[in-house]
Amino acid sequence: MVDSTLKSSAKDRRSDALTDRFGLLIPSALPLLDDEEVMLLRVLGRLEMMTVAQIQQLIFPTLTLRGVQKHLDRLLGDGLIWRAQSRTVAVNHAAQHEKVPRRGAFVYGLSDDAKALLETLDVEHDPLTRARLVSRDPRGRKPDTRTMAHDLQVSWFCTNTLLSAARNRYCRQIYVQTEFYPEKRQRIDALIMLRLSPDHPRPASEVGRIPFFDGTPRQSGQIDIRLALEIDRGSEELKVLLEKIEKYRDLTQLGVYDQTIGGPILVVFVVQTPRRAGQLARQFQDIWPSGWGVVSTPQSANHLQDGVLWGRYKSLATGAPFDLLSQLVANAAGQMQCFPTVSREDWKYHEIVPNVQAQTIAQRAGRLGGLASQVARRERKKPPS
Protein backbone atom coordinates (compact mmCIF):
# COMPACT_ATOMS: atom_id res chain seq x y z
CA MET A 1 0.00 0.00 0.00
CA VAL A 2 2.81 2.40 0.88
CA ASP A 3 4.73 1.50 -2.30
CA SER A 4 1.70 2.17 -4.50
CA THR A 5 1.14 5.52 -2.79
CA LEU A 6 4.75 6.54 -3.34
CA LYS A 7 4.59 5.48 -6.99
CA SER A 8 1.37 7.42 -7.46
CA SER A 9 2.81 10.59 -5.92
CA ALA A 10 5.98 10.23 -8.01
CA LYS A 11 3.86 9.89 -11.14
CA ASP A 12 1.94 13.05 -10.19
CA ARG A 13 5.20 14.94 -9.80
CA ARG A 14 6.42 13.77 -13.20
CA SER A 15 3.19 14.90 -14.84
CA ASP A 16 3.89 18.46 -13.69
CA ALA A 17 7.04 18.62 -15.79
CA LEU A 18 6.74 20.71 -18.97
CA THR A 19 7.36 18.73 -22.15
CA ASP A 20 7.19 19.58 -25.84
CA ARG A 21 5.26 17.84 -28.66
CA PHE A 22 7.95 15.18 -28.94
CA GLY A 23 7.87 14.35 -25.26
CA LEU A 24 11.16 16.05 -24.55
CA LEU A 25 11.54 17.68 -21.15
CA ILE A 26 11.94 21.47 -21.38
CA PRO A 27 14.88 22.37 -19.11
CA SER A 28 14.40 25.21 -16.68
CA ALA A 29 16.64 28.25 -17.11
CA LEU A 30 16.11 29.16 -13.45
CA PRO A 31 18.28 27.76 -10.64
CA LEU A 32 16.73 24.83 -8.82
CA LEU A 33 15.65 26.21 -5.42
CA ASP A 34 13.46 24.81 -2.69
CA ASP A 35 11.14 26.93 -0.52
CA GLU A 36 13.68 27.24 2.30
CA GLU A 37 16.39 28.48 -0.05
CA VAL A 38 14.07 31.10 -1.52
CA MET A 39 13.21 32.23 2.01
CA LEU A 40 16.93 32.39 2.83
CA LEU A 41 17.54 34.70 -0.14
CA ARG A 42 14.67 36.92 0.98
CA VAL A 43 16.05 37.14 4.51
CA LEU A 44 19.63 37.81 3.37
CA GLY A 45 18.39 40.73 1.28
CA ARG A 46 16.79 42.19 4.39
CA LEU A 47 19.57 41.55 6.92
CA GLU A 48 22.55 42.12 4.56
CA MET A 49 24.70 39.44 6.21
CA MET A 50 24.16 36.42 8.46
CA THR A 51 26.25 33.76 10.16
CA VAL A 52 25.70 30.04 9.59
CA ALA A 53 24.23 29.69 13.10
CA GLN A 54 21.69 32.44 12.39
CA ILE A 55 20.74 30.83 9.09
CA GLN A 56 20.29 27.46 10.76
CA GLN A 57 18.03 28.85 13.50
CA LEU A 58 15.88 30.94 11.17
CA ILE A 59 15.68 28.85 7.98
CA PHE A 60 16.88 25.28 8.61
CA PRO A 61 16.13 24.44 12.28
CA THR A 62 15.84 20.70 11.56
CA LEU A 63 19.23 20.37 9.85
CA THR A 64 22.71 19.96 11.27
CA LEU A 65 25.29 22.65 10.51
CA ARG A 66 26.74 20.31 7.89
CA GLY A 67 23.34 20.07 6.22
CA VAL A 68 22.99 23.86 6.25
CA GLN A 69 26.45 24.17 4.72
CA LYS A 70 25.41 21.96 1.79
CA HIS A 71 22.62 24.41 0.96
CA LEU A 72 25.01 27.35 1.23
CA ASP A 73 27.62 25.67 -0.95
CA ARG A 74 25.02 25.03 -3.64
CA LEU A 75 23.85 28.66 -3.56
CA LEU A 76 27.49 29.81 -3.70
CA GLY A 77 28.06 27.62 -6.75
CA ASP A 78 25.07 29.21 -8.48
CA GLY A 79 26.37 32.69 -7.69
CA LEU A 80 23.28 33.57 -5.63
CA ILE A 81 25.09 34.45 -2.42
CA TRP A 82 28.48 35.84 -1.40
CA ARG A 83 30.73 34.80 1.46
CA ALA A 84 33.32 36.66 3.52
CA GLN A 85 35.59 35.80 6.43
CA SER A 86 34.70 37.45 9.74
CA ARG A 87 35.97 37.50 13.30
CA THR A 88 33.53 37.48 16.18
CA VAL A 89 34.29 38.29 19.80
CA ALA A 90 31.85 37.56 22.63
CA VAL A 91 30.03 40.77 23.48
CA ASN A 92 30.31 39.97 27.21
CA HIS A 93 33.99 40.85 26.94
CA ALA A 94 33.56 44.05 24.94
CA ALA A 95 34.42 46.33 27.89
CA GLN A 96 37.01 44.12 29.57
CA HIS A 97 40.66 44.99 29.09
CA GLU A 98 41.99 41.51 28.54
CA LYS A 99 42.59 39.15 25.67
CA VAL A 100 39.52 37.16 24.66
CA PRO A 101 39.13 34.22 22.27
CA ARG A 102 38.40 35.21 18.69
CA ARG A 103 36.59 32.84 16.41
CA GLY A 104 36.98 32.80 12.67
CA ALA A 105 33.72 32.33 10.80
CA PHE A 106 32.05 33.06 7.49
CA VAL A 107 29.18 35.44 6.88
CA TYR A 108 26.84 35.20 3.90
CA GLY A 109 24.87 37.78 1.93
CA LEU A 110 22.66 38.19 -1.13
CA SER A 111 24.23 38.56 -4.58
CA ASP A 112 23.04 41.00 -7.24
CA ASP A 113 21.95 38.07 -9.43
CA ALA A 114 19.84 36.65 -6.59
CA LYS A 115 18.11 39.99 -6.09
CA ALA A 116 17.22 40.01 -9.79
CA LEU A 117 16.04 36.40 -9.47
CA LEU A 118 13.69 37.29 -6.60
CA GLU A 119 12.21 39.97 -8.85
CA THR A 120 11.70 37.35 -11.58
CA LEU A 121 10.09 34.89 -9.16
CA ASP A 122 7.75 37.68 -7.95
CA VAL A 123 7.90 36.56 -4.32
CA GLU A 124 8.04 40.08 -2.87
CA HIS A 125 4.65 41.76 -3.10
CA ASP A 126 5.36 44.76 -0.87
CA PRO A 127 6.63 47.78 -2.84
CA LEU A 128 8.43 48.96 0.31
CA THR A 129 10.59 45.83 0.10
CA ARG A 130 11.56 45.05 -3.47
CA ALA A 131 13.89 47.93 -4.26
CA ARG A 132 15.44 48.07 -0.79
CA LEU A 133 16.88 44.55 -0.59
CA VAL A 134 20.64 44.77 0.03
CA SER A 135 22.92 42.87 -2.35
CA ARG A 136 26.45 43.00 -3.76
CA ASP A 137 28.57 41.52 -6.53
CA PRO A 138 30.27 38.34 -5.19
CA ARG A 139 33.33 39.17 -7.31
CA GLY A 140 33.62 42.67 -5.85
CA ARG A 141 35.11 43.94 -2.64
CA LYS A 142 33.81 42.34 0.55
CA PRO A 143 33.00 44.35 3.70
CA ASP A 144 35.94 44.82 6.06
CA THR A 145 36.02 43.26 9.53
CA ARG A 146 35.41 46.60 11.26
CA THR A 147 32.21 47.13 9.30
CA MET A 148 31.13 43.52 9.81
CA ALA A 149 31.49 43.84 13.60
CA HIS A 150 28.79 46.53 13.51
CA ASP A 151 26.61 44.92 10.84
CA LEU A 152 26.61 41.52 12.53
CA GLN A 153 25.20 43.03 15.72
CA VAL A 154 22.47 44.64 13.60
CA SER A 155 21.85 41.26 11.97
CA TRP A 156 21.72 39.50 15.36
CA PHE A 157 19.10 41.93 16.71
CA CYS A 158 16.97 41.52 13.56
CA THR A 159 17.30 37.72 13.58
CA ASN A 160 16.23 37.58 17.23
CA THR A 161 13.20 39.73 16.39
CA LEU A 162 12.25 37.59 13.38
CA LEU A 163 12.43 34.39 15.42
CA SER A 164 10.19 35.88 18.12
CA ALA A 165 7.67 37.31 15.65
CA ALA A 166 7.44 34.19 13.49
CA ARG A 167 6.34 32.04 16.43
CA ASN A 168 3.86 34.46 18.03
CA ARG A 169 0.17 34.52 17.18
CA TYR A 170 -0.14 38.22 17.97
CA CYS A 171 2.19 39.16 15.11
CA ARG A 172 0.31 39.32 11.80
CA GLN A 173 3.14 40.71 9.69
CA ILE A 174 6.72 41.89 10.12
CA TYR A 175 8.92 44.20 8.10
CA VAL A 176 12.69 44.19 8.59
CA GLN A 177 15.22 45.99 6.43
CA THR A 178 18.78 47.03 7.18
CA GLU A 179 20.28 50.14 5.61
CA PHE A 180 16.86 51.77 5.36
CA TYR A 181 16.59 55.24 3.83
CA PRO A 182 13.27 56.95 4.69
CA GLU A 183 14.66 59.76 2.53
CA LYS A 184 18.05 60.65 1.12
CA ARG A 185 19.20 62.58 4.20
CA GLN A 186 19.02 59.64 6.60
CA ARG A 187 20.24 56.05 6.75
CA ILE A 188 18.77 53.88 9.53
CA ASP A 189 20.76 50.80 10.58
CA ALA A 190 17.53 48.78 10.46
CA LEU A 191 13.83 49.53 10.27
CA ILE A 192 11.63 46.99 12.07
CA MET A 193 7.84 47.13 11.87
CA LEU A 194 5.57 44.68 13.67
CA ARG A 195 1.87 44.54 12.83
CA LEU A 196 0.14 43.20 15.93
CA SER A 197 -3.43 42.01 16.25
CA PRO A 198 -4.21 41.61 19.98
CA ASP A 199 -7.92 41.06 19.38
CA HIS A 200 -7.59 38.54 16.55
CA PRO A 201 -4.39 36.46 16.89
CA ARG A 202 -3.21 34.31 13.99
CA PRO A 203 -4.46 30.72 13.93
CA ALA A 204 -1.91 28.31 15.35
CA SER A 205 -1.70 26.60 11.95
CA GLU A 206 -0.27 29.78 10.41
CA VAL A 207 2.50 30.16 12.96
CA GLY A 208 6.00 29.07 11.93
CA ARG A 209 6.96 30.77 8.68
CA ILE A 210 8.06 34.38 8.77
CA PRO A 211 4.96 36.55 8.07
CA PHE A 212 6.68 39.22 5.96
CA PHE A 213 4.78 42.39 5.07
CA ASP A 214 2.91 41.96 1.78
CA GLY A 215 1.74 45.54 1.28
CA THR A 216 -1.85 45.06 2.50
CA PRO A 217 -3.32 48.01 4.44
CA ARG A 218 -3.64 47.79 8.21
CA GLN A 219 -7.01 46.42 9.28
CA SER A 220 -9.21 47.65 12.10
CA GLY A 221 -7.86 46.57 15.49
CA GLN A 222 -4.32 46.04 14.18
CA ILE A 223 -1.42 48.05 15.60
CA ASP A 224 1.85 48.88 13.87
CA ILE A 225 4.98 49.10 16.01
CA ARG A 226 7.77 50.98 14.19
CA LEU A 227 11.32 50.70 15.50
CA ALA A 228 14.43 52.41 14.13
CA LEU A 229 17.44 50.40 15.28
CA GLU A 230 20.74 52.21 15.69
CA ILE A 231 23.79 50.19 16.76
CA ASP A 232 26.63 52.24 18.24
CA ARG A 233 29.97 50.66 17.36
CA GLY A 234 31.59 52.32 20.39
CA SER A 235 34.60 53.66 18.47
CA GLU A 236 32.91 56.75 17.04
CA GLU A 237 32.69 60.13 18.71
CA LEU A 238 29.51 60.80 20.68
CA LYS A 239 28.65 63.62 18.30
CA VAL A 240 27.86 61.02 15.61
CA LEU A 241 24.96 59.73 17.74
CA LEU A 242 23.88 63.25 18.63
CA GLU A 243 23.64 64.14 14.94
CA LYS A 244 21.41 61.09 14.47
CA ILE A 245 19.12 62.30 17.27
CA GLU A 246 18.85 65.73 15.63
CA LYS A 247 17.95 64.07 12.33
CA TYR A 248 15.19 61.96 13.94
CA ARG A 249 13.84 65.10 15.64
CA ASP A 250 13.81 67.15 12.45
CA LEU A 251 12.31 64.47 10.19
CA THR A 252 9.62 63.73 12.79
CA GLN A 253 8.64 67.38 12.96
CA LEU A 254 8.55 67.57 9.15
CA GLY A 255 6.21 64.54 9.02
CA VAL A 256 8.60 62.48 6.89
CA TYR A 257 7.95 59.23 8.79
CA ASP A 258 4.18 59.70 8.58
CA GLN A 259 4.52 59.99 4.80
CA THR A 260 7.06 57.22 4.16
CA ILE A 261 6.26 54.49 6.70
CA GLY A 262 2.80 55.44 7.93
CA GLY A 263 3.41 56.87 11.39
CA PRO A 264 5.77 57.82 14.21
CA ILE A 265 8.92 55.82 14.80
CA LEU A 266 10.62 54.80 18.05
CA VAL A 267 14.40 55.19 17.98
CA VAL A 268 16.17 52.24 19.63
CA PHE A 269 19.84 52.87 20.43
CA VAL A 270 21.93 49.83 21.37
CA VAL A 271 25.24 51.07 22.74
CA GLN A 272 28.13 48.97 23.98
CA THR A 273 28.51 50.18 27.61
CA PRO A 274 26.25 51.63 30.35
CA ARG A 275 28.52 54.70 30.51
CA ARG A 276 27.85 55.42 26.85
CA ALA A 277 24.10 55.01 27.47
CA GLY A 278 24.22 57.60 30.27
CA GLN A 279 26.08 60.08 28.08
CA LEU A 280 23.56 59.62 25.27
CA ALA A 281 20.57 60.14 27.60
CA ARG A 282 21.92 63.42 28.98
CA GLN A 283 22.50 64.80 25.50
CA PHE A 284 19.14 63.53 24.21
CA GLN A 285 17.29 65.55 26.86
CA ASP A 286 19.01 68.71 25.64
CA ILE A 287 18.49 68.05 21.94
CA TRP A 288 14.93 66.66 21.94
CA PRO A 289 13.38 67.06 25.41
CA SER A 290 9.86 66.32 24.16
CA GLY A 291 11.01 63.44 21.98
CA TRP A 292 10.90 59.68 22.33
CA GLY A 293 13.63 57.09 22.09
CA VAL A 294 15.10 54.29 24.16
CA VAL A 295 18.58 53.01 24.91
CA SER A 296 20.03 49.67 25.95
CA THR A 297 23.23 47.63 25.82
CA PRO A 298 23.58 44.21 24.15
CA GLN A 299 23.60 42.59 27.59
CA SER A 300 20.40 44.38 28.69
CA ALA A 301 18.57 43.93 25.38
CA ASN A 302 19.36 40.21 25.36
CA HIS A 303 16.52 38.72 27.40
CA LEU A 304 17.40 35.01 27.49
CA GLN A 305 13.81 33.78 27.86
CA ASP A 306 11.80 36.26 25.80
CA GLY A 307 14.21 37.79 23.27
CA VAL A 308 15.16 41.37 22.43
CA LEU A 309 11.55 42.51 22.16
CA TRP A 310 11.34 42.10 25.93
CA GLY A 311 14.82 43.22 26.93
CA ARG A 312 15.52 46.06 29.36
CA TYR A 313 15.24 49.47 27.70
CA LYS A 314 15.17 52.94 29.24
CA SER A 315 13.54 56.07 27.92
CA LEU A 316 16.14 58.58 26.75
CA ALA A 317 13.86 61.45 27.81
CA THR A 318 12.92 60.30 31.33
CA GLY A 319 15.20 57.39 32.23
CA ALA A 320 12.16 55.23 33.06
CA PRO A 321 11.82 51.60 31.87
CA PHE A 322 10.16 51.35 28.46
CA ASP A 323 8.42 48.48 26.63
CA LEU A 324 9.44 48.19 22.97
CA LEU A 325 5.99 46.92 22.02
CA SER A 326 4.35 50.26 22.78
CA GLN A 327 2.04 52.15 20.45
CA LEU A 328 2.92 55.79 19.80
CA VAL A 329 -0.18 58.01 19.48
CA ALA A 330 -0.33 61.80 19.18
CA ASN A 331 -2.98 63.50 21.31
CA ALA A 332 -5.02 66.57 20.37
CA ALA A 333 -2.21 68.88 21.47
CA GLY A 334 0.28 67.10 19.23
CA GLN A 335 2.12 65.48 22.13
CA MET A 336 3.13 61.84 21.77
CA GLN A 337 1.64 59.29 24.15
CA CYS A 338 2.87 55.71 24.59
CA PHE A 339 0.54 52.79 25.27
CA PRO A 340 1.84 49.22 25.82
CA THR A 341 0.07 46.97 23.32
CA VAL A 342 0.39 43.59 25.05
CA SER A 343 1.73 42.34 28.34
CA ARG A 344 4.73 40.04 28.54
CA GLU A 345 2.49 37.30 29.97
CA ASP A 346 0.01 37.52 27.06
CA TRP A 347 2.86 37.55 24.55
CA LYS A 348 4.32 34.42 26.11
CA TYR A 349 0.91 32.73 26.21
CA HIS A 350 0.42 33.25 22.46
CA GLU A 351 3.89 32.01 21.56
CA ILE A 352 4.12 28.65 19.82
CA VAL A 353 7.57 27.13 20.04
CA PRO A 354 8.19 24.96 16.95
CA ASN A 355 8.75 21.27 17.46
CA VAL A 356 12.00 20.71 15.62
CA GLN A 357 11.63 16.97 16.21
CA ALA A 358 8.63 16.88 13.87
CA GLN A 359 10.68 16.04 10.78
CA THR A 360 9.96 14.23 7.58
CA ILE A 361 11.45 10.79 6.94
CA ALA A 362 14.01 12.33 4.57
CA GLN A 363 14.97 14.99 7.12
CA ARG A 364 15.40 12.42 9.88
CA ALA A 365 17.51 10.24 7.62
CA GLY A 366 19.64 13.20 6.55
CA ARG A 367 20.15 14.33 10.14
CA LEU A 368 21.15 10.84 11.26
CA GLY A 369 23.52 10.57 8.33
CA GLY A 370 25.07 13.93 9.20
CA LEU A 371 25.55 12.94 12.83
CA ALA A 372 27.10 9.64 11.78
CA SER A 373 29.52 11.48 9.49
CA GLN A 374 30.53 13.77 12.36
CA VAL A 375 31.27 10.77 14.57
CA ALA A 376 33.29 9.11 11.80
CA ARG A 377 35.36 12.28 11.26
CA ARG A 378 36.11 12.55 14.96
CA GLU A 379 37.19 8.92 15.06
CA ARG A 380 39.54 9.43 12.11
CA LYS A 381 41.14 12.41 13.84
CA LYS A 382 41.90 10.47 17.01
CA PRO A 383 45.60 9.70 17.45
CA PRO A 384 46.44 6.00 17.24
CA SER A 385 46.51 4.30 20.65
pLDDT tens string 206-254: 888 899 998 889 999 999 999 999 999 887 889 999 999 999 999 999 9
Q: List the Cα angle 188/190/194 in 5-degree steps.
A: 125
Q: Phi-psi category of 15—alpha, beta or left, where left has phi over 0 and alpha has psi -120 to 50?
A: alpha
Query: Above 60 in pLDDT, residue 3?
Result: no
Q: What is the pLDDT of residue 54?
A: 95
What number is the average pLDDT over the span 115-127? 91
Pairing mode of beta strands 293-296, 266-270: parallel
pLDDT over 70 percentage in the chain: 83
Nearest CA among 102, 113, 171 for reference residue 139: 113
259-272 residue pLDDT tens: 999 999 999 999 99
Please give the pLDDT value at position 10.
Answer: 41
The backbone region for 236, taken as left when phi is positive above 0, alpha when psi lies in -120 to 50, beta otherwise, is beta
Q: How far apart are CA 291 and CA 228, in angstroms?
A: 14
| pLDDT number for residue 126 | 85
Q: Is residue 15 pLDDT above 60, yes or no? A: no
pLDDT value of position 142: 87
pLDDT band for position 34 (cuts 50, 70, 90): very high
DSSP 44: H
54-68, 191-205, 279-293, 369-383 — which is least confidently predicted?
A: 369-383
- E strands present in 33-170: 50-51, 81-88, 103-110
On the question of pLDDT at 1 being above 60, the answer is no
pLDDT band at 11 (very low <50, low <70, confident <90, very high): very low
Backbone angles phi, psi at 181, to 5 degrees: -110, 100
The CA distance from 351 to 146, in Å, is 36
The pLDDT value given to residue 69: 95
CA distance 199 to 164: 19
Lowest mean pLDDT among 58-62, 150-154, 335-339: 335-339
Q: What structural domains and CATH numbers belong to the chain? A: 32-138 (1.10.10.10), 144-351 (no CATH)
- pLDDT, tens digit, 9 for 90 and up, residues 159-173: 999 999 999 999 999
Q: Can you give the pLDDT at residue 42?
A: 97
Give the pLDDT band of residue 335 (cuts 50, 70, 90): confident
**pLDDT at residue 288 tops 50:** yes
Helix (H) or strand (E) run with residue 295 in it: strand 293-296
Please determine, for residue 96, whether its predicted confidence score (pLDDT) is greater than 80.
Answer: no
* Mean pLDDT score across all residues of the chain: 86
Q: What is the pLDDT of residue 119?
A: 92
Assign 9 a pLDDT band (cuts: 50, 70, 90): very low
CA-based R_g, the chain, Å: 23
Residue 101 confidence (pLDDT) above 60:
no
Give the mean pLDDT of 273-292: 94
Task: Examine the pLDDT at 113 and tell me if it is beyond 60.
Answer: yes
